[in-house]
Structure formats: structure tokens, C-alpha cells
Amino acid sequence: MAIVLGELLFLATLVPLDAAVYNWIECYRGCESSRVLSVDWPLGILVILSLMVGVYLCLRRAWYEVLYGTAVIVVGGFLAELLKTVFERSRPSSVSPLLVGNSFPSGHTTSAVLLAGTLAFWLIRQRLSLLQKATGLVLLGSCVGAVIVQRVYLMHHWVSDILGTVPLGVAWLCVTLSQSKERNAFRPIVLACSVLGVVYPLFYYVPAVRIHLPSVLSMVREPVVSFSFGGTATPTLLQGAWGDNGQETIGSITWMQHGEASIAVPLQSQHGYSMRFSARPFLQNKSFACYPLEVSLNKHPVRRLLLSRGWREYELYLDPAWVTPGINTLTFRTGVGFPATSREREAVAFHKVALFAENKQ
């Protein structure tokens, strides 16, 4: 708990780490690895193992162990949801946390730690060989590690979310499992349920009392150039395969059709800029998405991005050698492998583009 409190107090110092890891993953992320990690198989394995152990204990009529272990996992999961309501922190998504949920703590990571920790506690107490116990612990630890990699690699959570979630789950396990055989073992669980019943409605129905935590998306800088799509877009700035405007949960948007589309961006001086833009690929259903979008500045290739499902904010660095004082042409191109549909011409929805001056040379 001391580790968790320390991280919350100094969370702003970890924001640059979150940004660095996020941008590194965005640069080197691959479609095949994303496809494999997009399936919740590690958490599924832990759930199946828990059910198997539960059935085994029921057959042995070890009702107390089944009830206590279930209470530890379920109540611990609800406590994590309570903290996620108490702490408002933006996920790596351009959509408001009101629609996609807050980022800290990570619900998947909490569930993995609670399931694996409870199973490990039961496993250690069995009459098994050291090799069997070690094999089981490695399997449980590998599943937790895979869940953590999933949440960060698929950009559902920041690294600092995981750094706080793991010790938080371990702290709950230490408090509860260490007293599993004592007479008043259920006291921490009953106390936690009482807190949930009183505190959760307060923070859920009164957003003003929630605690705001810093994140990469909340550390706002003043942009040199900012351009919003949709109803406020200036047609003379847009050229190429731009389609219809529209409204979505994120706000006003403009659809880019398959092909190439560009924006005229006025820049007064020639030095480095970082560019952030919010976009999502067109999907007919909630299927897996990893679609290539090529970005160039004044015909110089900047990067080939892989767009994920849902609204995301992407950040690119624009080399000063490619910048021209005056009007610059920022071009987006749907790359090879971007799916084309016969009924719909839309490819990518854009919400906003912003450029920030950088000291980087």
C-alpha cells in the first residue's frame, strides 16, 4: 500500500515514462502480435483453473475454502472498480473517460493478480513436490505477465496504471489470505463490503468529489496550429479524398475516403514539431483492426501507422528539414492492406490535428 500511495503522490513524474512507452509501442507494434494479444486467453486460463480448483474443493466438501477464496476474488474486484470510480484518469483514448471508463486501476490486471494469487496460496499449501509447485507458480505468473503485456501493448492502459495495480492487488491478498484460517477471517471482507456500500454511491452519483489523476492526455500544451474537423472545417484547407462530415461521441468528425487526402498547414518557422491527431478506422462491426495509414509532410514520409479499433490519439515527430516556412502539406494515405468495402467508401474518421513546437533538433 505504501508503494501505491507513493505512486499516486508522484504520478506526474511517471507521465513522461507513460508517453515514451506508448510512442515506442506505436512505432514498433505489429499486426500479428496485436492479433494474438487481443484475445483474453491469459485471463481465460486463470478463470478456468479457478473453476477447476473450485469444483475439486466442492467434491472434497471444502466449502469454507471455496466460499472464502471466492469472497477474496469478488470483493477485491469490486474494490478495484470503486477505486476506478474514485480516481479519474484518462485512458490512452481520445474518447472521454465517461464513455470508456477510467484508467486506474486496471480491472483486467486486478482480476489476474487476485485469481493467480489465490490459486498460488492454495497450491503452496498442497502436498505436492517442489517441482510441481514451481511449475504451477510459473504458469500462474506467466498468465499474469501476459495480461499485463496485453493491457500495455494494446494501449488500453498506461504503464503507471500497471505499476500501481499490481501492488494494490497484492496488498489485498496479503490482508485477506494471511487470515484465512483465523476466527475473524471474514472481518476485512465484511469491512470492505461496508465501504463499498457507503462510498461507491457517493463517488458514482457525485462526480465533483472524484480525484483527478494526471495522464499523458491531461498534460495539455498550447499548440502552434490546431485544426478541428467536421462542421468547423475550412474546405480550402482540405484536398483530396475527404468525404462527409458527421458527429460522433468524440465530437465533430470528417471522413477520409480510400486513397490520399491532405491538409494545408501554415507554419511560421522551420524547426521540429510534434503532431497529434485523433482518428479511428472504419469498421462494420467490433472486429479486430490493424489498418496501415501512411503520413507524409511535403512529400517526405513521416511514418506508417497501424490504426487500432476505436478512437486513439497518435503522435508523430516532424523533422525540421521537411518543414517550410509558410504553407506545408500534411498528407494521409491509406496503405496497402487497408480493407476496402463495396458499400462504404469511408476509411478513416478524423477529429482533430494539433502541432506543437519542439526544441528537439
Q: What is the pLDDT of residues 143-189, one digit of tens each?
A: 999 999 999 998 889 999 999 999 999 999 998 988 777 777 788 88
Give residue 2's Cα distance to chain centre: 24
Q: Supply the CATH number for residue 203's domain.
A: 1.20.144
Q: Is residue 217 part of a domain?
A: no
Task: Answer yes or no: do 24 and 157 share one domain.
Answer: yes
**Mean of the per-residue pLDDT values of the chain:** 86
State yes or no: pLDDT of 87 exceeds 60: yes
Task: Answer yes or no: do 207 and 235 share one domain.
Answer: no
Give the separation between CA 289 and CA 38, rounded to whole angstroms.
Answer: 10
Final residue before a domain boundary, out of 212, 247, 281 = 212
Going from the C-alpha of 129 to that of each of 56, 119, 133, the distances in angstroms are 19, 16, 6
Percentage of the chain lying above the pLDDT 90 cut:
34
Beta-carbon-side half-sphere exposure of residue 97 (alpha carbons within 13 Å): 20
Residue type, 315: E
Mean pLDDT across 47-55: 95
Buried b (16+ CB within 10 A) or exposed e, 98-110: eebebbbbbbbbb
Task: Answer yes or no: do 48 and 132 share one domain.
Answer: yes
Residue 106: partners with Cβ closer than 8 Å, 6 or more residues away: 151, 156, 157, 161, 162, 165
> For the chain, how big is the Rg over CA atoms in Å?
24
Final residue before a domain boundary, out of 212, 247, 274 = 212
Overall number of domains in the chain:
2
Final residue before a domain boundary, out of 152, 177, 212 = 212
Q: What is the pLDDT of residues 267-316, one digit of tens each?
A: 888 778 888 888 888 887 777 778 888 999 999 998 888 888 888 888 88
Task: Answer yes or no: do 237 and 301 share one domain.
Answer: yes
Q: Is residue 218 part of a domain?
A: no
Q: What is the pLDDT of residues 125-144, one digit of tens each?
A: 988 899 999 999 999 999 99
Give the separation between CA 279 and CA 308, rounded to whole angstroms.
Answer: 9
Strand intervals (E) in 185-299:
211-212, 225-228, 238-248, 251-267, 273-281, 290-297
Task: Answer yes or no: do 37 and 167 share one domain.
Answer: yes
Q: Is residue 220 part of a domain?
A: no
Task: Answer yes or no: do 129 and 259 share one domain.
Answer: no
Q: Which domain holds residue 237?
A: 225-357
